[in-house]
Structure 1
Amino acid sequence: MMRAMDRSTQIKAMASEQRLTILRLLAEPQRHFGHQWSADPVEFGVCMTLIAEALAVAQPTASRHLEILKQTGFITVRKHLKWSYCKRDEAAIRDYLNWLGTELSSRA
């Protein structure tokens, strides 16, 4: 179970259109990053450089967004050689959505 402060960080992370776009792109890695040659985008994750290109932002900007998503648990980052690969953490995202649904339902 996440602490309230962690949930607050997750909510702030979801308030960014760029971060939502990253999560949408990573939901279908083969479709959006099938051209990645260094590793299988589905099995291994997507290279941060390709994510920056997909967003049309500089690498440092993409890295900041990815770091926030990593801190919230929505993605995992795996290093291989000189690259870092990102993958959605489906369980963490599902947990957040379940929590949000419960919070938004009416309570007596």
Structure 2
Amino acid sequence: MDRATQIKAMASPPRMKILRLLAAPGRHFGHQQSADPVEFGVCMTLLAEALTVTQPTASRHLDILRQAGFITVRRHLKWSYCKRDDAAIGQYLDWVRAELGLSGGAG
């Protein structure tokens, strides 16, 4: 995995907000009608609305998160749905802890 891309992904407040929103998709996007946000993912359109940014801006943020491995994107018909990859985020955090010489979890 490209650690520079991962660091870039985590260094952005809008991208961090996306990751927080995707941590509880049912709570934040329960109104999504096209697919179950927990099982299928959250439509990029709804993420753009939640960030109050244009679709192209949201797409750019989401693409960086995808490149970093922190989200997966699934296309269905004309829409794209995003899910957070908690395992990848955990591996990144483990790497940061190891690089900084920290032991144990973040608790």
SS in 2 for 1:96: helix
Gaps of 5+ in 2: 103-107
Given the alignment, which residue of 8, 16, 20 partners 2:4? 8
Q: Which amino acid aligns with 2:39?
A: E
Residue 13 of structure 1 and its aligned partner are, at CA, apart by 1.0
Query: Where do residues 78-97 of structure 1 align in structure 2 (5 Å cutoff)?
Result: 78-97=74-93
Instruction: Report the identity percentage.
Output: 76
Query: Where do residues 24-43 of structure 1 align in structure 2 (5 Å cutoff)?
Result: 24-43=20-39
Residue 8 of structure 1 and its aligned partner are, at CA, apart by 1.3
Count, aligned residues: 102
Gaps of 5+ in 1: none
Q: Which amino acid aligns with 1:75?
A: I
Residue 104 of structure 1 and its aligned partner are, at CA, apart by 1.1
**Normalising by structure 2, what TM-score?**
0.93
- Quote the Cα distance in structure 2 between the aligned partners of 1:12 and 1:56: 21
**Normalising by structure 1, what TM-score?**
0.92
SS in 1 for 2:39: coil
